[in-house]
Structure 1
């Protein structure tokens, strides 16, 4: 909902920047929160002290949302034409449209699903692989942290898509992230691993906010939030599916095989984006929503 509110507040040609800001600060919050709770746990205990801090953060966020954040749905209502044939779709139709009824939205949904395999790989397989190669635990943390730190660049990559379109950063990001993952099992040494983790993170920073901007561009304002919700469902379910596939691959093949699998799926998913995703930028996009079904006589 925070992203939907920012999109409501932003101009159509600022949606990439709006999403980039939200995602960049969200991931920065995850990193800062992990560091603070780690410090608290190191100086006290694993529980309950870190949970006191988390409870205070949740309470503060709740109070801010109640007393400082204003409703933005009226801005979305003013933005759209309720008489347009694409307006006010029932949720079932939104689900169909955002899943398979629109090739551009399908391309975005499948790419969002697959790209989360990269995050899952860095959480599960990368630490195990690097420690098995003899890298010290503290340096493993640096390599994984370098990947995550690149996500702050989403502010810039989201703004970039407002100028050049959504499609180029998404395509570049899919192949760049896949190449970074693949390269990590083809090199050896702390510095090469850190560089390739940064390459993969840069690819994710290019694609992550701009994939989310695609459904916000393509959806009519009357069902934009629902369309974004469907996209997020398919995207975030990639964490679970990715964890299962990567875990099974590591168990029955090898950690290296998990890297090859993830990279291969990123390249395949990127190819789907190249073939099916149309440009959705509000000023120079080529995407048109599917024509309404003919009415029964």
Structure 2
């Protein structure tokens, strides 16, 4: 007896969708382990004074994650989503153990190579699998829920490790949490997650049924890379906004804890501020992704980049805890407006047959922002001080908002869909 064909939609696939949300929370928790503790660990235990050297772990993480993203999308299209998801967890298993035992900073950097691969493979697959399940009508909502789960877990892990470090030490106690996250995430992926490649093929068949000339949407990897990176105006705008957004996240991850420490804040308050940014980011995405399904993608992205820039400039306006908290809230709100909307815009434009590859290319550029951010933030902080670094990156963020508002077309509009079709001709 043959199984029934897959059905698209959130309600039709609710159980599997929820399972993927849970799995992505564990993926996010693996990154959150490091948000508070690792920059402080670099100074306190390894004696590293150079901001550029401290931020090397973020550059390494970002480079490996960016490369893993584009490989993940292509492998997921070719070999199936679940296999790539499980592979990501296998690579992530030793990360907390290496950080606990690391005798030198180079071992911590190596652990972040593995973490980057883990995040690139596992997080990419949770995104692509949710897009597969819900179909074309609720992509913004699906991405909002996915990213909300991931970044709320980032926030929770950052907050938890901050308090654990304050009560015990910077290591090993905070990283015991990571061992549990990795084991549970792997087991859940192996035993409870089902592959969604058949759902992608169902959407592809539906698309071709209403677009008889759709054969021209069959493109090579190289062509998908060109379309996503620069040939399509909307996807170019999305890719550069993603890069700048994660440049900001790299700054927040690697430099903010040190900046807060120079202001005399205790590690518990540093952990709270570090957690506040991804908490607002995570919670906000529950609404912003769905709103972009109704209001459109372009102006949600442009406004989100502008709000992030305001948050960065606010950060250096004063040293009071309330001012710093307000800046982190603004950064989180702006990122929440941008993050799921960028992914939904990619899914609006890319054909189902190469959507996974296109998402991987976008995430290559987006997570390349960690590398750019680490280099720019580290070099400018060493040369101009941390406040100078924050001002420069704030200006780049404002410029990104201008690029989106002037270059991007609205991907949800009929005219936008026509332009997307023309980009593949």
Between the aligned partners of 1:202 and 1:231, the Cα distance in structure 2 is: 22
The answer to whether the Cα contact below 8 Å between 2:162 and 2:268 also exists between their aligned partners in 1 is: no
Partner of 2:285: 154
Of the structure 1 ranges 104-113 and 53-62, higher mean CA displacement relative to structure 2 is found in 53-62
1:1-297 matches, cutoff 5 A: 1-36=125-160, 53-80=177-204, 81-82=207-208, 84-151=214-281, 152-281=283-412, 286-287=416-417, 288-289=419-420, 291=422
The answer to whether the Cα contact below 8 Å between 1:166 and 1:280 also exists between their aligned partners in 2 is: yes
SS state of the match for residue 286, structure 1?
helix
Between the aligned partners of 1:284 and 1:130, the Cα distance in structure 2 is: 47
The structure-2 alpha-carbon separation of the partners of 1:72 and 1:192, relative to structure 1 and needing over 3 Å to count, comes to same
SS state of the match for residue 12, structure 1?
coil
Deviation of 1:191 (Å): 1.1
Deviation of 1:127 (Å): 2.8
Deviation of 1:47 (Å): 5.8
Between the aligned partners of 2:303 and 2:225, the Cα distance in structure 1 is: 28
SS state of the match for residue 30, structure 1?
helix
Between the aligned partners of 1:105 and 1:292, the Cα distance in structure 2 is: 10
Deviations 1:92-140 (A, max 9, x none): 1111111111111111001100111211222233233333334444333
The answer to whether the Cα contact below 8 Å between 2:162 and 2:267 also exists between their aligned partners in 1 is: no
Between the aligned partners of 1:226 and 1:247, the Cα distance in structure 2 is: 32
The answer to whether the Cα contact below 8 Å between 1:249 and 1:255 also exists between their aligned partners in 2 is: yes
The structure-2 alpha-carbon separation of the partners of 1:178 and 1:49, relative to structure 1 and needing over 3 Å to count, comes to closer
* Contiguous gaps of at least 5 residues in structure 1: none
Tell me: higher relative CO, structure 1 or 2? Use CA pairs within 8 A at least 6 residues apart. Answer: 1
CA RMSD for the aligned pairs?
Answer: 2.4
Of the structure 1 ranges 89-98 and 142-151, higher mean CA displacement relative to structure 2 is found in 142-151
Between the aligned partners of 1:170 and 1:293, the Cα distance in structure 2 is: 24
Deviations 1:11-66 (A, max 9, x none): 42211110111111111222333455566667777666665543333232222222
Of the structure 1 ranges 46-55 and 26-35, higher mean CA displacement relative to structure 2 is found in 46-55
The answer to whether the Cα contact below 8 Å between 2:158 and 2:275 also exists between their aligned partners in 1 is: no
Of the structure 1 ranges 137-146 and 18-27, higher mean CA displacement relative to structure 2 is found in 137-146
The structure-2 alpha-carbon separation of the partners of 1:53 and 1:241, relative to structure 1 and needing over 3 Å to count, comes to same
The answer to whether the Cα contact below 8 Å between 2:228 and 2:239 also exists between their aligned partners in 1 is: yes
Between the aligned partners of 1:237 and 1:118, the Cα distance in structure 2 is: 12
The answer to whether the Cα contact below 8 Å between 1:177 and 1:200 also exists between their aligned partners in 2 is: yes
How many correspondences in the alignment?
A: 293
TM-score, scaled relative to structure 2: 0.64
The structure-2 alpha-carbon separation of the partners of 1:78 and 1:27, relative to structure 1 and needing over 3 Å to count, comes to same
The answer to whether the Cα contact below 8 Å between 1:215 and 1:227 also exists between their aligned partners in 2 is: yes
Deviation of 1:197 (Å): 1.5
Between the aligned partners of 2:166 and 2:190, the Cα distance in structure 1 is: 34
* Contiguous gaps of at least 5 residues in structure 2: 1-124
